[in-house]
Amino acid sequence: MLDTLSRTLKTARAKRLRLMSPHREMLGDMPPELYDYWSRTAHLEFKGIPRDAFFYARAAEALLTFFDCVASTSRPCGLPSKAADSVWHAWLRYAPASLDDFCERHFRTRIPHVEAAGMSGGMARAIARTLVEVRRRDGLALAGPNVPRLFRTDRALRMPGGFAYDYHGAQMTWGQIDARGQARPAGPLRATDPSSLLAAGLISRTDYERFRKLYRWGGDYRPGDGPTGGAAGDRAGCDDGSSCGSSCGGSCGSGCGGGCGGGGGD
């Protein structure tokens, strides 16, 4: 009986999310059979993944947000959510032509699925590009410090093997989520530092100076200068080209705070 009640509540939450989502029209245009296919097959690739209606709806919404980011730039973007990637993979297996048609209809372009190992410029920079694009889309400060909704997906859904983003002091951190859905100790994701974003041409000098003045940040920050999150670990952090975590359910090589990606060449 408890299982039935839980399913009913999650189905109700999924319906509410679809109604309230800025992507509600696109969510309604996704193949109705895709959820059933995903719920039958996702666990074969993503071990321990929850398969309820709310998880799927939240992951699908995150995937559409990512597609929106990719469509807004001609450069590669990294997907910061394994939950969203599970829906992408299922769609690619189930009806790839339907996915292409959907993307052309809503984003005016096909969005290629790029494995982490083949990401031009490295996954860390691709993740940083997604971060800036989604901050711009959500009306957030481009230099931070903030964790946009897309980047909070895996943690909110307790996605096993997913990615948990947070802030420690004035620096963005990431860690992986264990099999029980708990975030592991986090280390710095240096490609998302304001100085790195500025050097990569992803934010303006004005964005950088606004952040630096507000948080007295100059590359080495003082705890307490910004909002605090989970405790930072003792790892060396992630730069472009480094290997900082498995991606795509463990089948696509190594990434750096993200999974697969999409978009054009660098």
Report the share of the chain in percent with pLDDT over 90.
64
**Contact predicate 90/38, CB 8 Å:** yes
pLDDT in tens, 160-201: 999 999 988 778 999 999 999 999 988 999 999 999 999 999
Q: Which tokens in the block code for residue 203?
A: 């934010």
Q: Looking at per-residue confidence, does 1 or 63 come out higher? A: 63
CA atoms within 13 A on the CB side of 136: 16
If 0-12 CB within 10 Å is exposed, 13-18 middle and 19+ buried, where does residue 6 land? Answer: exposed
Taking the model in full, what pTM does it have? Answer: 0.82
pLDDT value for 156: 97
Distance CA 146, CA 83 (A): 21
Mean pLDDT of 76-84: 96
Q: Name the most confidently modeled range: 137-141, 223-227, 236-240.
A: 137-141
Residue matched to tokens 């807004």: 72
Tell me how far CA of residue 205 lies from CA of 50, 63, 127, 197, 266, in angstroms: 43, 30, 20, 10, 22
Phi and psi at residue 244, to the nearest 5°: -125, 30
Average pLDDT, the chain: 83
Confidence of residue 235 (pLDDT cuts 50, 70, 90): very low
pLDDT of 248 over the 90 cut: no
**Terminal CA-CA length for the chain:** 53
The residues that bridge with 167 in the sheet, in sequence order, are 172
Who contacts 194 (Cβ-Cβ below 8 Å, separation ≥6)? Answer: 143, 144, 203, 207, 208, 211, 212, 217
pLDDT value for 249: 32
Mean pLDDT of 42-63: 97
Residue matched to tokens 């930072």: 232
Distance CA 115, CA 160 (A): 20
